[in-house]
Amino acid sequence: MKIGVQLLPQGVTWNQWRDGWLRIDELGFDSNWSFDHVHAPRGAVDSDTFEGWVGMGALAALTRNAWTGMLVSPITFRNPGLLVKMATTLDHITGGKSILGLGAGWHVNEHEAYGFGWPSPGERVSRLAESLEITKRMWNREEQPANFAGRFYQLDGAINNPGPVQSPHPPILVAGSGPRIIGLVAQYADMYDSWPPLDALQQRFELLAQACDRIGRPYEAITRSLSVDYLWAPDPAKREAQISAAVAITPGRDPAMLQARILSGGASELIDQIHGYASVGVQQLILHVPSPYDMDGLERFASGVLPAFS
């Protein structure tokens, strides 16, 4: 089980994000992840929020051990060819330890406020499909320059030199839950990220296995990743109140859904829960940590939980 951390870059100063990121790198976690939002996705929408790609590039240059990943870029924000160029540059900054995460977008407020537009769910998934095809073409060293004529995006002799450090290219992670997105995972992705609850997760994995079988791709070729909200809560008497407070950070969303996404407890409880995730096929766990960052809880996870999965 590989375990990474996403410190949400909202409600913090640059120094707090930087220092937290670098401590994660020191503690032995496998990966450090940024997010790609221009408005805060949790709590007050006007909370201080850093742009994820610029911040991630600066942090990647300081990283010594962990992989660096974007979880995830909505394809509605940028031209996909430009995004591939950005991801290629990140791969050089990291020395070949980067992961490109893509999704169809979900945070309507920031799309409308910034004038990105808010296409229908079906169109966003279609745009994701074209973006994934463009990503593959621009990272194909045998077919440079890249060309593509789609409904939403076009390439006409797009050159991506230098190519990425990794061969054939950095891992592509796709996040989402619908059948069409899972079909795109089977076709294009190296990693698939989703959220609990576990019964829904098992259904998604079954759909992914079926989609892989239809196109003749090995199911095991895709790393199955799970995002959770991490909460260090070793005292059972206080845990329920801590979970309620964590859920309250994101008003307007289903509290039961938010609670199902929380990984909480002391070291032994956390280890048991992670074994439960592994039992349904999870191979990578990403701990989402909102502000203010509980660095003490992450230190305790690193010392008490990571060794069980090393």
Q: What is the domain-level CATH number for residue 170?
A: 3.20.20.30
CB 123 within 8 A of CB 75: no
Q: Cα separations (Å) of 209 from 93, 172, 179, 200?
A: 34, 18, 12, 14
Distances (CA, A) of 72 to 38, 45, 279: 13, 18, 25
Which single residue is written with the structure tokens 């294009």? 188
Closest Cα to residue 289, out of 260, 263, 309?
A: 263
245 lies in which domain range?
Answer: 2-309
pLDDT in the model for residue 253 = 83
CB atoms inside a 10 Å sphere around CB 273: 19
| Angle (nearest 5°) at CA 75 between 123 and 110 | 95
Low-confidence ranges of the chain (pLDDT < 50): none
146-149 and 154-158 beta bridge pairing: antiparallel
For position 9, what pLDDT does the model report?
97
Give the start-end residues of each E strand in 17-120: 31-34, 67-70, 73-74, 98-103
C-beta separation of 193 from 175 below 8 A = yes
Q: What local confidence, expressed as pLDDT, does residue 310 receive? A: 85
Domains of the chain: total: 1
* Residue at token pair 């909505």: 74
Q: Which residue in 87, 55, 60 sits closest to 73, CA to CA?
A: 87
Contact call for residues 57 and 90 (beta carbons, < 8 A): yes
Hey, which residues does 265 pair with through a beta bridge? 232
